[in-house]
Structure 1
């Protein structure tokens, strides 16, 4: 398991990165709101952002909980943040351009897509009753998420059938289209759930003291995220390119396998610990055998020496 020092440093790093990302989200949302709070503005924001993400093959980066989670099991690659084109980090122009493109364009369009969908829901989903709108949003989002969880297996099975066909541009575009459609539906479900929870917290969580409500919400969410080893889910610590999931050969489209991942990690950690004990035991046995051989050699020399002394005296 992780050492206490690594646990503290890694969570502090995640917290700082999370604050930076939230500021980025808040800034872009504010800029989008300058275009007005109308159906036309929200619709154009959603359409333009979605098309841009499809064209740059970054649609999969708009997914969020409950359809996408990231576990922080182990130290491997915890501090690694991947760019869209997976350029090797280093002092190169290509890496800088990839980083700028990933942050400014891909992440930016994902954020504005969320804002566009959010505003559309504000305008269309019971706009005169915030409490009712929040519940409708939460229920609809969870229903859509469950439906997507159910259909992901036949979708991936169908994608596997397409992959077995001779590879042409039509098959490639078809697979990307399937992934983009699933991703957009997943993004809509995520926005619905987030929006529902967001407004319900505003309506129900310590409504008489806004500052205390914000601090409680922030603190509880942070602690739960860290304790359940899901804190990286709250931040963007890497980007994916469309086509990676649909061509992966996995049986599931959405990565939310926390229990199985945690179980596998626990099993692997136990195996590694058991192997270390075995290696240590073998090393101890080897040292004991060396000491035993050394003792035998010393004893043999002493016997020979005593025998030679007896012969001399005789």
Structure 2
């Protein structure tokens, strides 16, 4: 089917279809361009990461260099965020179009069953790929802005460009991580969101959004309260039981995440300049982004690679990386220890120089 869809593009100027050899040559040419583009993007990302390290402390660095690198990292994050949004926008639209093609009438009695069946099918695929944890987002995930957090992210099979032979595997890994795992996540989100729209007070939008907020934050508080005992149990399980318990815990947390997003989103649509949607959208976009940058956690809006279910040792697989204050104070303590170590080393060097100067010739 793919060949049939791409055949019109592989025609000569005279309108004659290209031969199989010509199509293979063109495919090889485009694949080579894709490989070169991938290598260039990874090289550029590595270059940005290398530039950002020690921007303040290097001999060629300083305040100006540090500010410039911070600015560049935020631009990189913003472009990455736009790519994520376009992916999600397209996934939501594709899901909606599929449902509309099967059941064109919005009042069709089988529409809810269709939404449910598609959502369950996509979720099962995620579980089979051991990628169900990727359904989670803020408030369960908070990523502070840093060098590694900005420029480094994982793929499903964790391939890298250590050699030219691994380029093809890396390209396939990236394509699979985005087009398969990422798209499945989008579809499950859309299906769950649509089911909430159908069953949670559909005739009363404000009541529906408030209910989503109550359910979302209520389940979130419960899930965080149960994190310690769940971690204890998971640490003592092995194999399939450990994986299933982690998936159930992540699924409950996902339900909380969707409800929180839906509730906040709906309340903004209802009360933030409802008569001027463009102004409402621009205000929520710019103000929220500015606050995230000021709070040093703008990376939280990104899809940070692909997580593998129950990959971490013991019970760490059910611990959510959302320790904003803990990370902040940890960074400050690390910086303080580094400054003290440098000061102690400088003092020791000065004392040694004085001792050597005071020695008789």
Q: Pick the TM interval, shorter chain.
A: 0.7 to 0.9
- Asked if the contact 2:149/2:299 (under 8 Å) is kept, the reply is no
Aligned partners of 2:216, 2:311: CA distance in 1, in Å? 25
- TM-aligned CA deviation for residue 250 of structure 1: 3.4
Q: Say which of 117, 124, 133 aligns to 1:51.
A: 124
1:217-256 to 2 correspondences below 5 Å:
217-245=284-312, 247-250=313-316, 253-256=319-322
**Deviation per residue, 1:20-70 (Å, 9 max, x gap):** 110010011000000236212321221111111101111111101112222
1:129-208 to 2 correspondences below 5 Å:
129-162=204-237, 171-208=238-275
| Higher Rg | 1
1:240-279 to 2 correspondences below 5 Å:
240-245=307-312, 247-250=313-316, 253-279=319-345
Residue in structure 2 matched with residue 124 of structure 1 by the alignment? 199
Q: Which protein has greater RCO, CA pairs closer than 8 Å, 6+ apart?
A: 1
Aligned partners of 1:23, 1:287: CA distance in 2, in Å? 61
Residue aligned with 1:78, SS: helix
Aligned partners of 2:314, 2:301: CA distance in 1, in Å? 25
The structure 1 segments of at least 4 consecutive aligned residues displaced by more than 6 Å after TM superposition are none
Residue in structure 2 matched with residue 84 of structure 1 by the alignment? 156
- TM-aligned CA deviation for residue 291 of structure 1: 5.2
Residue aligned with 1:188, SS: helix
Residue in structure 2 matched with residue 210 of structure 1 by the alignment? 277
Gapped runs of 5+ residues in structure 1? 163-170, 298-314
Asked if 1:60 is matched to 2:133, the reply is yes
Gapped runs of 5+ residues in structure 2? 1-53, 57-65, 101-105
User: Superposition RMSD on alpha carbons, in Å?
Assistant: 2.0
- Asked if the contact 1:70/1:233 (under 8 Å) is kept, the reply is yes
- Asked if the contact 1:82/1:237 (under 8 Å) is kept, the reply is yes
